Amino acid sequence: MKQMAISLIDEAVRAGARAWRACAVMGISCRTLRRWRQADTLVDRRKDAARAPSPRQLTPEDREHILKVCNQPEYQSLPPSQIVPRLADRGQYIASESSFYRVLKAYGQMNRRGRAQLPRHVAKPRPLAACAPNQVWTWDITFLPSTVRGQFYRLYMIVDIYSRKIVGWEVHHDELTSHAAELMQKTCLRHRVRRDQLVLHADNGSPMKGATMLATLQRLGVMPSFSRPSVSDDNPYSESLFRTLKYSPAYPKKPFADLAEARAWVHRFVRWYNHEHHHSSIRFVTPAQRHTGLERQILAARKAVYDTAKRTLPARWNGRTTRNWEPVGTVWLNPSKDGQEDPSILKAAA
């Protein structure tokens, strides 16, 4: 095409036309014409340029043959990485393995070639925000060891994500949705939770999604929220709480002798965690202090101590600000990656 354009322009110039007008008719500039004349080759090297078919290219008959072979009963459940070596064992070569993959993709058959189902894409749980106690709770179940090998006690525990306070717990021999429903009902009554006030987040276990539990939540006016299947970090507050429980120095080194001993130890832990443990995520106040609103007074007193110390010993700060003792604001569960949350979520959680 380039050579033809050059020939037509040369012919027009010999007939008396101006070179720039002839170039304009062909849709090119004089500079382009000069570059074409000086080039070693006139082959179009652009990626989208039309090219002659490659001698290595598969013919339509080759593609049909590959598709027919892949859909034979003995190969229909195998990927090309398995088909090509088996054909080679039979002394057959049709095309390369990558060509097999390209043909299957072109015909819409680039999928799992077996009975395995396609992986499900489950959307991330809706972000939840808590700006006060008793707005968002999470709960889960963990095992406590018993003296009988292979048998465990089940610890049901509910935590408020805003204050990190353990608001409800029970220990049972087994995992039943009836135990979870009863615990939830007692906890809501104890904390005077009103209808449409609370969101309860949990994993996808059977006690969490059982009919008895869901019916209880509906009766109490509690909105359920669930993690994605097999995704542990969708319920981080409960997981973090269980880690604190099991890595606590007070956690017994020997299994619990009976259910009463397990309940007694958990009772002591909950009392320590709620009323003595200074939580690092809430400016080192106790969960009970934050839950009852005492944290503002405590943090204000700490700030006054540091401000006085800075005035007394300004050289130690060298112009820097003192430690941040401001109360932690809104707490999010499963926030979006960009951090741009919908303001309506706050209203829904409140």
Do the Cβ atoms of 306 and 322 come closer than 8 Å? yes
Confirm or reject CATH 3.30.420.10 for domain 127-350, answering yes or no: yes
From first to last of its 350 residues, what are the pLDDT tens digits of the chain?
777 888 888 888 888 888 888 888 888 888 888 887 887 776 666 666 666 666 778 888 999 999 999 999 898 888 899 999 999 999 999 999 999 999 999 988 887 766 766 667 777 888 999 999 999 999 999 999 999 999 999 999 999 999 999 999 999 999 999 999 999 999 999 999 999 999 999 998 889 999 999 999 999 999 999 988 877 778 899 999 999 999 999 999 999 999 999 999 999 999 999 999 999 999 999 999 999 999 999 999 999 999 999 999 999 988 899 999 999 999 999 888 765 555 555 444 43
* Domain map (residue ranges) of the chain: 2-38, 60-106, 127-350
For 38-75, the pLDDT digits (tens) are 877 766 666 666 666 667 788 889 999 999 999 998 98
pTM of the entire predicted model: 0.68
User: 262-294: per-residue pLDDT in tens?
Assistant: 999 999 999 999 999 999 999 999 999 999 999
